[in-house]
């Protein structure tokens, strides 16, 4: 039987002399305080239970599990991944076990961990988004929800809702009314005005904004004279999109008063610092996990080393400093 969740403190006292703590839902009564700003992004870290032999996952600020839908999904046809210069294209198509299996099989594990787990949700209708939020609301082990309205790899849903401020706000409002969990909205870069989109979801009840998701792209096999990906197009990620992502974090952090979580091409601590100085309260590590599974820990250690070298008492001292 499900019961109401009481927020747990997550390793907040690990380093008395250097405070890396961040709160990515300061206006939510349940809050979402992290021991540090390093989060692993949805889709690149599974459900968090595949990595214990590589590093202690409890050192992370948070884990975002792979996208979850109401019903299980098989995903897009193969091939689903193609390399590009300084990046990769993926067209996984939201393959996942479905929300009931996540609640039954994964959440009980998460509840025993010392790192918060955020569930990324995706749907084809506003009603389904709200239903996903309702089912997850009081599940022990679920610390927050990231709403995916920006995936370019499915034929309906997700990016359709994130393409305009009005539709993005409707999804946000519906999910907000279905849950008291900290609510993060993940935005698409495939829009004409990222700031307008961000303001709309913040006004509709988002506790934080995550950006950016992948850019839509394609590769052609010149021998076969056909698209390489089975779904033809996919989402471009990796270092190639970092300048776009940093720019959008800079724009959005100046347009809203809720925390911004930045990501897109972060491979090391220097990349993460760019996002933080642009205005990100926390950062997400995505594609880097696929080429270097220890990347999140290396980013964290690099942030710690930078903060100590600069004589910082808190990482929050440099959030948005490039804006001043």
CA of residue 158 relative to chain centroid, distance? 14
Q: How far apart are CA 180 and CA 200, in angstroms?
A: 19
What is the radius of gyration, based on Cα positions, of the chain?
Answer: 18
For 13, residues 6+ apart whose C-beta sits below 8 A from its C-beta are none
HSE (side-chain half, CA atoms, 13 Å) at 92 = 16
Please provide the DSSP assignment of 95-129 as one string.
Answer: -B--HHHIIIIIHHHHHTSSS-EEEEE--SSHHHH
3 carries an active-site annotation: no
List of residues 6+ apart from 240 with CB closer than 8 A: 84, 85, 86, 87, 265
Q: Choosing from 65, 151, 156, 158, which is the catalytic residue? A: 151
CB-based burial, 286-322: b 16+ in 10 Å, e otherwise = bbbbbeebebbbbbbebbbebbeeeebeebbebbbee
Partner residues linked to 90 by β-bridges: 81, 235
Give the dihedral of Cα atoms 238, 239, 244, 245; nearest 10 deg.
Answer: 60
Nearest to 272 by CA among 26, 104, 41, 6: 41
Q: Which residues are catalytic?
A: 151
């Amino acid at each position: 039987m499900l019961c109401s969740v009481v927020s747990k403190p997550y390793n907040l006292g690990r380093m008395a002399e250097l405070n890396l703590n961040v709160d990515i839902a300061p206006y939510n009564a349940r809050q979402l305080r992290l021991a540090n700003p390093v989060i692993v992004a949805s889709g690149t870290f599974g459900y968090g239970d595949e990595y214990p032999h590589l590093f202690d996952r409890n050192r992370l600020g948070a884990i975002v599990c792979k996208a979850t839908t109401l019903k299980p999904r098989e995903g897009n046809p193969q091939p689903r991944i193609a390399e590009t210069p300084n990046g990769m294209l993926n067209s996984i198509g939201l393959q996942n076990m479905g929300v009931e299996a996540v609640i039954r099989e994964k959440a009980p594990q998460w509840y025993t961990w010392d790192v918060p787990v955020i569930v990324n949700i995706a749907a084809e209708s506003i009603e389904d988004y709200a239903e996903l939020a309702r089912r997850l609301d009081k599940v022990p082990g679920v610390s927050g929800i990231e709403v995916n309205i920006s995936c370019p790899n499915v034929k309906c849903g997700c990016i359709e809702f994130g393409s305009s401020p009005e539709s993005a706000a409707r999804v946000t409002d519906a999910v907000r009314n279905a849950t008291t969990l900290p609510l993060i909205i993940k935005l698409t870069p495939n829009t004409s005005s990222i700031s307008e989109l961000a303001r709309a979801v913040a006004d509709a009840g988002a506790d934080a904004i995550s950006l950016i998701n992948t850019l839509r792209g394609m590769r052609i096999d010149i021998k076969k004279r056909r698209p390489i990906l089975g779904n033809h197009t996919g989402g471009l990620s990796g270092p190639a999109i970092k300048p776009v992502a940093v720019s959008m974090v800079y724009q959005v952090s100046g347009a809203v008063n809720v925390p911004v979580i930045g990501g897109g091409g972060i491979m090391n601590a220097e990349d993460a610092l760019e996002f933080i100085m642009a205005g990100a309260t926390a950062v997400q590590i995505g594609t880097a996990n696929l080429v270097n599974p220890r990347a999140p820990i290396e980013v964290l250690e690099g942030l710690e080393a930078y903060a100590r070298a600069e004589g910082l008492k808190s990482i929050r001292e440099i959030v948005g400093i490039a804006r001043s």
